[in-house]
Amino acid sequence: MRLNKLSTYMISMVLVLSLSACGYQLRGISQQANLPSAISVYADEPQLANAVAEALSKAQVKVTLAKQVVNMSDDIAQIADVRFIDTQAKATELLYDSNGEPTLWRYSINTTMLLGNSDDTKAYNLQEYTQVELSTDTSSGSANDLIISTSWENLYTAIGKRALSILGRQP
Tell me what pLDDT residue 49 has: 94
pLDDT (tens digit, 0 to 9) for every residue of the chain, 171 residues total? 555 666 777 777 777 777 666 665 555 545 456 888 999 999 999 999 999 999 999 999 999 998 655 444 555 555 788 999 999 999 999 999 998 989 999 999 999 999 987 667 899 999 999 999 988 887 767 888 899 999 999 999 999 999 999 999 887
Strand ordering across the sheet containing 62-66:
62-66, 38-43, 82-96, 102-115, 122-133
> For 104, phi and psi rounded to 5 degrees?
-120, 125
Tell me what pLDDT residue 33 has: 62
Residues 6+ apart with CB under 8 A from 97: 103, 136
What residue ranges define each of the domains in the chain, with the CATH number in brackets? 34-168 (3.30.160.150)
- CA gap 171, 36 in Å, rounded: 10
Tell me what pLDDT residue 170 has: 84
The amino acid present at 123, given as its one-letter code, is A
- CA gap 170, 64 in Å, rounded: 19
Tell me what pLDDT residue 15 has: 73
pTM of the model as a whole = 0.73
**Cα separation values, 20 from 16, 17, 152, Å:** 6, 5, 37
Tell me what pLDDT residue 29 has: 47
| Tally of CB atoms within 10 A around 55 | 23
Tell me what pLDDT residue 26 has: 58
